[in-house]
Every structure is written in C-alpha cells, then in structure tokens.
Amino acid sequence: MRRLSIAAIGPLALVVALGACSQREAISWTPIPRPAPDDPTPLGISYVCEGRKEVAVVYAKNRASVTFGDKTWRAEYHPAGDGFRYADSAVEWSGRDELAVLREAASTRPLAYNCRPVRRLT
C-alpha cells in the first residue's frame, strides 16, 4: 500500500477547507430603505432569506408585487405600528427595519423568513 505524503495532501485539503468556508459564508447586505407606502414611483428590492431563498418585491402606491419561486402576489399595504405589512388573500409580506417574512395568510406558515434586502431591482 502506498502512502501519500502530507505535501501531496496539503493543497487538496486547503481547497476542500476553503470550499467549505465559502458555503457557510454569511451573505453581506447593505440596508436598502423601502419607499414610503404611498410613493407612486415603483421600486424593486431583492431579498435573500434563511436557506438562501429569494423574494423579489416591487413597491408602489400602497401595493407590493411579491414574487417567490414561480408565484407572484399583488398585496395591499396595511398599517402595522412600527413595521410594515402587505397582504392579499393568500400571503402576507411583513416585517420591520431590515428584516421581513413571507407567510401564507391562512395558516401563517412562513414561506421565507429572516429576509434581508441585498440589491435594488432594475
């Protein structure tokens, strides 16, 4: 049986270790303010959520078009104290500050949670 030298294994172990680090690396984000609910100018923001799930939201004139996977919902703004809330009969997009959650309206089961804005949509 041949033995592999440490010198031969070293570079491979380094590549494997670096690959493992990049998979667990946290997503960096810069706060992107949501527009005022009554702002008529559409503004799209892409969010990354727990498990690297993505939610795209376009805000305009007391509404939000929320896209998750292959579904898009058109939700209406509802005042929510110190946070925000957009809802329709199927889902609710809500949160406060820079953290949001997408829930099924009937069961309140989260579809995507710990969502943070990562970029503006064009």
User: What per-residue confidence (pLDDT) applies to 93?
Assistant: 98
More confident residue, 8 or 43: 43
Instruction: Give the least confident one: 40-44, 60-64, 79-83, 84-88.
Output: 79-83
Polymer length of the chain: 122
What's the pLDDT tens digit per position in 79-115?
Answer: 988 899 999 999 999 999 889 999 999 998 999 999 9
Fold classification of 43-121 (topology level):
Lipocalin (2.40.128)
User: What per-residue confidence (pLDDT) applies to 60?
Assistant: 96
Q: Write out the H or E segment, with its range, that includes residue 12.
A: helix 6-24
Structure confidence at residue 1 as a pLDDT band (50, 70, 90): very low
CB neighbour list of residue 68: distance below 8 Å, 6 or more residues apart = 53, 54, 55, 56, 102, 111, 112
Task: Tell me the whole-structure pTM to 2 decimals.
Answer: 0.75
CA distance 65 to 48: 16
CA distance 27 to 64: 24
The answer to whether the CB of 82 falls within 8 A of the CB of 73 is no
